[in-house]
Amino acid sequence: MPTQATPTIEGRSVVELELRLPNNKVIPFDKLNVIHISSTISESLKNATRHNLVVRSATVDFVDSLVRFAQSKGTPKVRYRLGIGIPGQTVYLPWQEHVIVDFNAGLEGIGKTAGHFFRATLGDYLYTIMRHTKVAARRGKISDIVTQIAKENGLTNTVIEPTVGEGLWIQSYVDDVEFIRRRMVPRAINSKGRGNYNLYVQDNVLHFHTPDYQAPLKELVYYQGGNISLFQIDESQAKLEMGASGVRLIVYDPYTAQTREVGSNPDKALRLGNVMHQLTNVQGADLNVPYHLSTNAPSEAENMAQTMYENARAQILGIKLEITRSIYLRVGDILRIVIAPTSTNATPWSGTYLVTEAGYTIEQGASVAVFYIKRGEFQTSSTAPTSLSILGDTVLVNEQTAPGQPLNLKAAQSSGLTHGAGQNVFTSAFVTTQDKNAAPNPKPGF
C-alpha cells in the first residue's frame, strides 16, 4: 500500500535549528534565545537545496561570537529539521546538515539589550562540493566515477544506480558537481537502456539514479483534502526545443573521418501514463546536436541523445500542488494522484507522477508547501476512440498510445534502501519524538 501524502496533522509547524561549532559541539538555537521567524526552502532533483532562514537573537553574542566561531575554520555548519504537531506528538523529518552560505544581521537595540535580526542562506552538501575545482582523468563506469567522487568528498551515504559502459573523461578546472552534471549525467545509461539520471541530496544522502530507482510510492487523493490546491500544466510546446519530439546527434568520428546520425529511442523511455501528445508529428521539431566523438565508444553519443529526449519528455505535463500543514511528500517520490472521486468523472490528469521540485514556507507556526510533479503522458482507462457531442456535432477523439517502458511499482519499492540512506522501514523517514537525538542523523560528510 502506498503511503498517504497528506495525512491530517493537527498543531503547528516548527523548524528546529542547531549550530555546529568547530569543536563539533551542537548548540540548539532556542537555548541561545534565538527565535525562528521564517524559513523558505527550495528542493529539486537537479539543484542543491537552498534554505533562506530568518531568526532574531536577543543578544549580540550569537552573531559576534558563536557564528564568527563557526565561520573560523571555513565551513560554518547548521542543521535543521521540519516538524508538525503539538508538544509531545510532533512528527519530524530527519535532520538536514547544511552550511551558512551567506548572512546579514541587522543590529537591534543598544548596549546590553542589543540583538540581531539575522537572515541567512543555507546550502546542502552539493554546495560544499562546489567550492573547489579539480583537474583529474576519470576512467570506468559512470556510476563508479560518481561513487569515487562521493568518497573524495567524505560522503559515505549514497544511493547510486549502476550504469553500463565505460569511458575516459577529463575533469579540467571544474568542481565535482559541475563535472557530474555536465559530463556524467548526459552520458549515464542504466541496464534497461534508460537515462535521465538525477543528482541531488536528501536527508544528507547523495542520490544519483533514474526516477524510478528505489523510489517510495505515495498517494494523494485530491477530493478528500481541504488543504490542497491543484493546477494542471502542459508545457509540450515549450519542451520541443529541449528535444521532446526526439533528439538527433550528428556525430563526427575523427579517427575514421566519418559522420553519422544517432537518435533517441522513445521505446526505451520511462512512461508514467499510457497516451501522449504525438510531438513526432511536428515537422522539423527534432533537436539536432552536432557532436565530436572522442576516444570513447560510439555508444556515448547514443546515450546522450537518449538522456536529452527523456529529460525533455518527462517534463511535458505537470501539476502544481499547494498543500498546507504537510511534510509527507518529498522530492524524488513517485506520487499516485487521484483527482476525480468516481470513474465516470475520471480525468486523464490522474495517475502516477514524479515529484521534481518542492518549496516550503514556514512562518509563525503556519506552513505552505508547493510541489511540482511531472510526467510525459496522460493516463486513460482506454485507448479506444471516444466521441463527444459539442454544439450538435460529434467529435471523435483518438488516443495515441505512448511508447516506452511502463513503471514497475513493485520493483521500485522492493529495495531496502530509501531516501533515508539504508533505513529498512519505508516510513522510518518520519519520527514522532521530542528527543532531538532520536531522529535519524546520518554521519556528517563534510
**Using 50, 70 and 90 to split pLDDT, how confident is the model at 96?**
very high
pLDDT level of residue 397 (50, 70, 90 thresholds):
confident
Residues 103 and 47 both lie in one domain:
yes
Is 281 inside any structural domain?
Answer: no
Which pLDDT score, from 0 to 100, does residue 445 have? 45
Q: Is 382 within a domain?
A: no
Query: Is residue 177 located within the same domain as residue 141?
Result: yes
Domain boundary among 179, 209, 239: 209
User: Does residue 269 have a pLDDT over 60?
Assistant: yes
Which pLDDT belongs to residue 422?
A: 35
The string of pLDDT tens digits covering residues 32-75 is 999 999 999 999 999 999 999 999 999 999 999 999 999 999 99
Amino acid of residue 301? A
Does residue 339 form part of some domain?
Answer: no
Output the pTM of the full model.
0.89
Q: Closest Cα partner for 371 from 308, 309, 328, 426?
A: 328
| Model pLDDT, residue 45 | 95
Pair 23, 88 in one domain: yes
Q: Output the CA torsion sign for 224, 228, 234, 239.
A: negative
User: How many whole angstroms separate alpha carbon 118 and alpha carbon 70?
Assistant: 15
Query: 153, 175, 209 — which closes off a domain?
Result: 209
- CA 46-49-54 angle, 5° bins: 155
In a domain? residue 326: no
The least confident of 11-15, 141-145, 438-442 is 438-442
> How do residues 161-179 score in pLDDT, each as one tens digit?
999 999 999 999 999 999 9
| pLDDT tens digits, one per residue of 430-439 | 444 444 444 4
Same domain, 93 and 183: no
Condensed to tens digits (0 to 9), the pLDDT of residues 295-307 reads: 888 899 999 999 9
* Whether residues 88 and 143 fall in one domain: no
CATH number at residue 57: 2.40.10.10
Cell numbers 488543504 correspond to 227
Pair 18, 67 in one domain: yes
Residue with cell 563557526: 70
Parallel/antiparallel/unpaired status of strands 217-221 and 3-4: parallel
The range of the structural domain enclosing residue 45 comes to: 3-124+427-432
Tell me the C-alpha distance between 55 and 120, whole Å.
9
Share of the chain above pLDDT 90, in %: 69
446 domain-assigned: no
Instruction: Report yes or no on 87 lying in a domain.
Output: yes
Q: How many domains does the chain have?
A: 2
- For residue 7, the surrounding DSSP H or E stretch is none
What pLDDT, on a 0 to 100 scale, did the predictor assign at position 440?
45
Question: Under a CB-based contact definition with an 8 Å cutoff, are residues 343 and 265 in contact?
Answer: no
pLDDT band at residue 116, thresholds of 50, 70 and 90?
A: very high
Q: Answer whether residue 263 is part of any domain.
A: no
- Looking at the fold, whether 7 and 119 belong to one and the same domain comes out as yes
End position of a domain, from candidates 155, 189, 209? 209
What is the band of 4 on the pLDDT scale with cuts at 50, 70, 90?
confident
Does residue 113 lie within any of the structural domains?
A: yes
Phi, psi of 251 (to 5 degrees): -100, 130
Instruction: Report how far apart, in Å, the C-alpha atoms of 411 and of each of 215, 266, 406, 418 are.
Output: 9, 21, 12, 13
CB environment 116-125: b (16+ within 10 A), e (fewer): bebbbbbbbb
Instruction: Identify the residue whose cell numbers are 537552498.
Output: 50
